[in-house]
Chains A and B, each alone.
Chain A
């Protein structure tokens, strides 16, 4: 087994991982970023819509353009990026197992930042395993990255931002979206995205769900039904559509396998996608020297993933002595204020509260741990 060393090893070259790498490498640390994909950028390159928020967050710029700018910055920073390489294990002593083109590596780093992102949720209904039923993110990857249409006539399930945005992007690429189905009584995503869908003439069926998908070898059609206030299907309200593809945009959940494996403590926050690692304001977990950033800490969006990456990167190299306390504090204050801006407003407020809980639970854990240690 070959051995690789670094000051900071980062799992994942998405929004969060790349920002962490940039911060750590520009401070002078030896940084190694590892990603399973052939291309860095994580989910950024499939996001061809304009970003929201403030000017500091490049509102109005399209996701893939932000991705290209970020890549260039990382390249110039001197961080090493190892692609086509899977991190398959992370032990409590922080040694990491990596397989790259059939070669096994052991990576030893002083600090580790896990920025592994999230994966899409599945939803079960009769016919849900038929080829042609896929994640909305999968359809987005196919159409925007690989430039292949996953189908011609598509039904979308879920009206959150991902469902709305991907529906629009499928239409931009030439597919027909016959409708969007939403179980809740109202649309989940931003008004701007929903407006675009409505103007394109696509109906949004709120208070509806999928009853079944039918087809022999692959999707040939779908039946939806209205829901009563207890989320039971109302007989007689069924509508059938002839479609070849059904996309599921029913949420994401953090990719926490490595975080569990290294022994971190967790919180359960449903709005963040389920189990999320406890971390402090520096993004450090309950395992000293192991940091987390981005969707893996709770599913939010690309801008907050970048800021969490910045925070983890700065904190990790501060701990290694590459930044003085004052230098680091200045950077952290700036990042914190940008994160606060992102987590404000109608949609951000809930995320801010959850994040505060997650960090407060970490502090409680630290207290308990300290007490336990004092008693020994």
Chain B
């Protein structure tokens, strides 16, 4: 959920909205925010599953230290979504274990 009003930081100013795709579904986010923030705003909290036990993982540190938030972004696995900025048209996918680089072919 977006914090639009804040007693100290004031109102959230009009930010530039962009459309990105989460597992193929179009979603809205703010240009330049971390991908993780846009997903969290949309209520998505499971970002990946672990390789051996397939346990869910989500945001833990939010500053790029723990790697719990890794997803496949524009075909590249192991992308830390808390420190990767959102751009128009980005394809963000939940990562299942260790994934290979997804090539353009698979997207067609």
Contacts and interface: CB of A to CB of B under 8 A. Distances in A.
A binds B: yes
Interface of A: 36-38, 48, 62, 119-120, 122, 129-135, 137-139, 141-144, 146-150, 152, 172-174, 217-218, 255
A48 B9 contact: yes
A138 B63 contact: yes
B16 interface: no
B40 A150 contact: yes
B2 A148 contact: yes
Contact of A36 (B41, B45, B64): B64
Contacts of B34: 146
B102 interface: no
A250 B97 CA distance: 29
B17 to A, nearest CB: 14
Contacts of A132: 45, 58
B59 A172 contact: no
A137 B46 contact: no
B47 interface: yes
11 contacts: A36-B83, A119-B65, A129-B57, A131-B57, A142-B37, A146-B33, A149-B2, A150-B40, A172-B6, A172-B7, A173-B3
A218 B45 contact: yes
A118 to B, nearest CB: 10
B63 to A, nearest CB: 6
B6 A133 contact: no
A131 B8 contact: no
A308 B100 CA distance: 44
Given A129-B57, A131-B57, A135-B60, A146 B37 contact: yes
Given A174-B3, A217-B46, A141 B62 contact: yes
Interface string B6-26: 111100100000000000000
Given A36-B83, A119-B65, 4 more contacts: A131-B58, A132-B45, A132-B58, A150-B40
Closest 9 CB pairs of A and B: A131-B58, A138-B62, A146-B37, A131-B45, A141-B62, A147-B3, A149-B1, A173-B3, A148-B41
- Interface size range on B against A: 20 to 34
A255 B4 CA distance: 33
Contact of A133 (B2, B12, B41, B60): B60
A48 B6 CA distance: 11
Contact of B56 (A36, A135, A218): A218
Interface in B29-46: 32-34, 37, 40-41, 45-46
A37 B83 contact: yes
Interface in B53-104: 55-66, 82-83, 85
A135 B62 contact: yes
A149 B3 contact: yes
A136 to B, nearest CB: 10
A134 B56 contact: no
A142 B1 contact: no
A372 B62 CA distance: 46
A45 B65 CA distance: 18
B56 A144 contact: no
